Amino acid sequence: MDIHFHNIMQRLESVLREKKDKEKILNKELASELGLTPDYYAVIKKRGKVPYLSLALFAQKEHLNLNWLLLGSPPKRICKGSSKAS
């Protein structure tokens, strides 16, 4: 099972299109949602470097299944009412 930058960003983009009700999501919007600068996003995109921590934090904020975001494995979302950490 391979984790590819392009596939992950396509899934992220689909979430943002839904969230923002837009047809096209720009790279600067992807960068912003991940807490990255547009310049750094351009570098990791060119290198195919997956920003795991940023994706994990985004997935937590949006209640996304990290397995879905990284690998495309269902389900897409996780339950919002999970147990709280003390």
Single-letter amino acid code for the residue at 52? Y
Average pLDDT over residues 41-70: 97
Average pLDDT over residues 21-32: 96
Query: Do the domain assignments include residue 84?
Result: no
Average pLDDT over residues 44-58: 97
Rounded-to-integer distance, Cα 57 and Cα 65, Å: 11
Residue 23: domain span: 5-71
Q: Is the pLDDT of residue 10 over 80?
A: yes
Total length of the chain: 86
pLDDT on residue 86: 40
Phi-psi region of 46 (alpha: psi -120 to 50; beta: other; left: phi over 0): alpha
Query: Do the domain assignments include residue 77?
Result: no
Q: Is the dihedral of CA 50, 53, 57, 59 positive or negative?
A: positive
Instruction: Dig out the tokens for 55 from the structure.
Output: 């994706």
Average pLDDT over residues 28-52: 97
Query: Do the domain assignments include residue 18?
Result: yes
Nearest to 9 by CA among 41, 35, 57: 41
Q: Is the pLDDT of residue 2 over 80?
A: no
Q: How many domains does the chain have?
A: 1
**pTM for this predicted structure:** 0.85
